[in-house]
Structure 1
Amino acid sequence: MRDLRRQALESGKTVSRKARSRNISAVSSKVNSAVNSAANSRATSRNRTGHGSDEDEDDLSDGSGTAWSSNSIEDILNGEDVDLPPDAWKSELHTRIEQIVDRKRSSTEGRADSLNAFAHILMARYAKDDVDNNIDELLPSMIRSIKAETSERETVAALRALAVTVITIDDGQIYDSVVEQLKRTISDSESTQAKIGAVHTLGTATFFGGAATEETEDIMTFLLEIVETDGESVNAHDDAGVVVAALEEWGLLATDLDDLELATETAIEAFIDQLQSSDSGVQVAAGENIALLYEKSYTPQEEDEEVSHDEDEPGEEETGKTGPKMIKRYTVYRRQDQLIDTLDELASVSTRKISKKDRKTLHSSFADIRNSVEKPTRGPKYSTALNEETGRSYGAGRMKVRINRNVEVRIDKWWKLQRLNALRRVLQGGFPTQYDENEAVSRILPFTMAKN
């Protein structure tokens, strides 16, 4: 088939509405095909972005273990083989919105397809205005799909679509509209995948949807109870996926609180208990929260503040000569020696009962976590290797996410890692595009100018 755009230019005529419709249908068909393929290829593996290579940062996953490359979704949204203008994805987006909203003319499978395609478009493109204009109809429809639980696939798709919608519209009122239904789904759903999706969506809605500090603390208490009871509080006893989700979202919400002393007292024991879990995902998520709690126990010295030197406090070499001195405000855990012994064991675990991949993850993760527990101002991937020229350690900043040629995000703090992981759980391979265009994303992670 000849390129319709080229044909129109050669003849001096515009492409007919019918021709454009055929091309848009082609895109719709490709999206449906890809979404169905992804849904039928569910895998049980879970990709943690925190300690992985940034080589896979452009993957788009449907949350079931099936990765879509960002190049693939770009082809689906604006492929050369279907000859669409650059903004053709908007037509496809509005088609999907109509299909989601018009429930009387849609089937369960059709809504699941449309919700999945809608979510993937929002991941890859920033479409705040398009979604804002339809949110009064979209939001109730997504909540109905979550509440009805006609099928697991539709429910999970609606939860994913809701999460990416929350980040897209950046509306400070949306939390109130969704919190009760999400908590009911977490507690009452018979689907494990729906529970996990609802936990992640609840965390997203709380963080981005306008929850007050007291409401955030209430949700953290709700999530902590899931951790403390190994999922039993929400009828998911010993379900590692649900516990991991609760740990991850607790960590995200904790980054938004200035004072974590009280929360630390109630949470640290639960996280340490989870280090004994038989699931490596639970262990790593709990360990990262422990590292965050230690990091948050230090704050910068204020201008008029005088403090005596404490051997347990980091020296200038830890805080950086250009930055403020960090002061320990409270004790995170009184049996720290025992905790460090546990972290050492996890950082060097060698049992064959654990897969080679999980052992590698545990070694890498807990070496960093142990380092931060001992020296709380050291963030993830802190390097103690010495620079031959300066004689000083390289320090933090080895973990970086490139946004474009000029901008990169340096993940040198645990709170940054928690937020990055949360954003990539929702936005997946669309994270760089959203960071570039969506203020709701860029404002929570400071960037640095990339060195070319």
Structure 2
Amino acid sequence: MRERNLRKQALESGKTQSRKAREGVSTPSSSRATSAVASPRVGSRVPSRNVSDDESEMSDATQWSTNSLDEMIAPAEDEADDTWIAALEERIEEICDRKRSSAQGREDALLAFSTALVRHYAADEVRSKRDELVVALLKIVKGGQTERETALALKALALMLVTEPSDTVYDALAGPFKTCVNDGQYVAEKIAAIHALSVATFYGGASEEETAGVMDFLLDIVSSDGAVVEEADNADIVTAALEEWGFLATQLEDMEESTEVAMETFVDQLESASVDVQIAAGDNIALLFEKSYTEAESDDEPATEDEDLDEDVRNGLAPRMIKRYTVYRQQHQLSATLSDLAKASSKRLSKRDRKQLHLSFADIMRTVEKPTRGPRYSTALDEDGHEMGSRLKVTIHGGGKMTIDRWWKLHRLNGLKRLLREGFLVHYELNRVVFDSLPVMVEDD
């Protein structure tokens, strides 16, 4: 009864705390911030990340800050090929020549630079000035005069990395980015730094050990409800950390040793009063269950007649997957929590939030019950008598559709969409780095 009451409190409370925070449990962390500066509270809530319909264009991903910088990037207008290139080169010169510019001038140059990198694949232009840009942008990150200037510089560095990755830049960026997360004066700056740190880890040459270290840093933020970075009970901060933990987790093959601690943290966050925190935690839970299964190898026991195999596996169209370890020992209790969230009906929830909870947690619950099934999996039969399988698809230019049938693909898609937003499809078609991050076959209509 107590567990059920706690879940009810989470759905109806106006607070952002998880159960651990409400019960006064603190989480030791080596990454505790030393800054005594309290950030201003911003009340706007982060929109959800999941695609809302089975076959639709992608919905907006989580914004990079509570006062969204991305909303400033207007839809692309018709531009002659050489016009945007010349304009971008001018902005690059303005950013690198910091001594001769004002804070307002730098903000304008940074916004124009980021807009160009979102709308276009500008690898040649970035490559020729990469070292100078990194130095100039890091100076702004370390000493920006305004919240907007610092957050724009962080986003600009992240966009540079997805445009032109580097095997060595992580070492230069990780420290300043973590300092921003720990000691930043503003919420928007900290959120932008969390996202930029993840991108730098993914595309900047971090080792597997360094990647795991960043994930531990993000997990500290989540387990303390933001308190470890002086943002106690800030749902936007916690959501950003959860999302980027999941994005980085897609890079690691073996997560058996780190799963137990992560699962305890994510299950705790299912009782948050923030729908976005709950969904981000649930997405990570589904990813961890998916990762506990790997393809059968030659020395594994053969399938038995009683084994519940999906139709594609039985027909030889997909590999047989084997469970390698237990993700969560209290799975019955977890299933009950997921079921409650999939049917949440609190009057305090908006219609949109209820829909997102129902859609997301129905998917998550199906994966927990059978980890070989990805998001939006349907056992309904099509006109040929075959299971429909995953129905989560993204429309690509030219009429094709990309099927997102695994949780790692959904985490990669959401991570790239958070960064590239309306320019995702442009980069998916032209930027080999983006395609290699999400190498999904495109089906013709």
Q: TM-score range by the shorter chain?
A: 0.7 to 0.9
Q: Which residue of 2 aligns with 1:418?
A: 411
Which region of structure 1 is more displaced relative to structure 2, 124-133 or 141-150? Answer: 141-150
- Is the Cα–Cα contact under 8 Å of residues 64 and 192 in structure 2 kept in the other structure? no
Where do residues 368-383 of structure 1 align in structure 2 (5 Å cutoff)?
368-383=363-378
In 1, Cα distance between equivalents of 2:206 and 2:171: 8
| Structure 1 residue 150 displacement after superposition | 1.3
| Structure 1 residue 298 displacement after superposition | 0.3
Q: Which residue of 2 aligns with 1:51?
A: 51
Task: Say yes or no: does 1:296 pair with 2:291.
Answer: yes
Q: Which residue of 2 aligns with 1:386?
A: 381
Structure exhibiting the larger radius of gyration computed from Cα positions: 1
Change (3 A) 1:43 1:436: farther
In 2, Cα distance between equivalents of 1:58 and 1:279: 19
In 2, Cα distance between equivalents of 1:99 and 1:49: 34
Counterpart secondary structure, 1:383:
strand
Which region of structure 1 is more displaced relative to structure 2, 439-448 or 214-223? Answer: 439-448
In 1, Cα distance between equivalents of 2:438 and 2:56: 20
Letter in 2 for 1:50: N
| Structure 1 residue 55 displacement after superposition | 5.0
1:438 to 422, 431, 439: 431
- Is the Cα–Cα contact under 8 Å of residues 295 and 414 in structure 1 kept in the other structure? yes
- CA deviation map 1:114-156 (0-9, x unaligned): 1111111101111111111111111111111111131101011
- Is the Cα–Cα contact under 8 Å of residues 56 and 395 in structure 2 kept in the other structure? no
Task: Say yes or no: does 1:236 pair with 2:231.
Answer: yes
Task: Say yes or no: does 1:139 pair with 2:141.
Answer: no
1:92 to 87, 92, 96: 87
Q: Which residue of 1 aligns with 2:185?
A: 190
Counterpart secondary structure, 1:87:
helix
In 2, Cα distance between equivalents of 1:74 and 1:355: 32
Q: Which residue of 1 aligns with 2:395?
A: 402
| Structure 1 residue 308 displacement after superposition | 6.1
Task: Say yes or no: does 1:211 pair with 2:213.
Answer: no
Letter in 1 for 2:318: G
Change (3 A) 1:55 1:395: closer
Q: Which residue of 1 aligns with 2:21?
A: none
Q: Which residue of 1 aligns with 2:75?
A: 73
Q: Which residue of 1 aligns with 2:309?
A: 315
Letter in 2 for 1:146: V
Counterpart secondary structure, 1:278:
coil
| Structure 1 residue 52 displacement after superposition | 2.5
What stretches of structure 2 of length at least 5 have no aligned partner? Answer: 1-41
Where do residues 219-234 of structure 1 align in structure 2 (5 Å cutoff)?
219-234=214-229
Change (3 A) 1:68 1:148: closer
Q: Which residue of 2 aligns with 1:8?
A: none
Q: Which residue of 1 aligns with 2:102?
A: 107
Q: Which residue of 1 aligns with 2:114?
A: 119
Change (3 A) 1:388 1:69: farther
In 2, Cα distance between equivalents of 1:209 and 1:401: 27
In 2, Cα distance between equivalents of 1:111 and 1:48: 31
Q: Which residue of 1 aligns with 2:170?
A: 175
Where do residues 221-370 of structure 1 align in structure 2 (5 Å cutoff)?
221-307=216-302, 309=304, 314-317=308-311, 319=313, 321=315, 322-370=317-365
The alignment covers a number of residue pairs equal to: 400
Counterpart secondary structure, 1:409:
strand
Change (3 A) 1:314 1:91: farther
CA RMSD of aligned residues (A): 2.3
Change (3 A) 1:387 1:403: closer
TM-score, length basis structure 1: 0.84
| Structure 1 residue 69 displacement after superposition | 10
Which region of structure 1 is more displaced relative to structure 2, 314-323 or 187-196? Answer: 314-323
Which region of structure 1 is more displaced relative to structure 2, 123-132 or 50-59? Answer: 50-59
Change (3 A) 1:59 1:305: closer
- CA deviation map 1:232-256 (0-9, x unaligned): 1111111111111110111011100
In 2, Cα distance between equivalents of 1:255 and 1:281: 20
- CA deviation map 1:307-357 (0-9, x unaligned): 56497x641437463111100000000110100000000001001111111
In 2, Cα distance between equivalents of 1:257 and 1:297: 12
Letter in 1 for 2:412: R
In 1, Cα distance between equivalents of 2:175 and 2:93: 26
Which region of structure 1 is more displaced relative to structure 2, 144-153 or 88-97? Answer: 144-153
- Is the Cα–Cα contact under 8 Å of residues 374 and 407 in structure 2 kept in the other structure? yes
- Is the Cα–Cα contact under 8 Å of residues 59 and 69 in structure 1 kept in the other structure? no
Give me the identity figure in percent: 45
Letter in 2 for 1:179: A
In 2, Cα distance between equivalents of 1:412 and 1:125: 28
Change (3 A) 1:100 1:323: same
What stretches of structure 1 of length at least 5 have no aligned partner? Answer: 1-41, 79-84
Q: Which has the higher helix share?
A: 1
Change (3 A) 1:175 1:131: same
Change (3 A) 1:62 1:345: closer
In 2, Cα distance between equivalents of 1:446 and 1:315: 25
In 2, Cα distance between equivalents of 1:382 and 1:56: 18
Change (3 A) 1:132 1:148: same
Change (3 A) 1:203 1:66: closer
- Is the Cα–Cα contact under 8 Å of residues 319 and 377 in structure 1 kept in the other structure? no
Q: Which residue of 1 aligns with 2:160?
A: 165
| Structure 1 residue 218 displacement after superposition | 0.6
2:442 to 428, 431, 449: 449
| Structure 1 residue 367 displacement after superposition | 0.5
Q: Which residue of 2 aligns with 1:32?
A: none
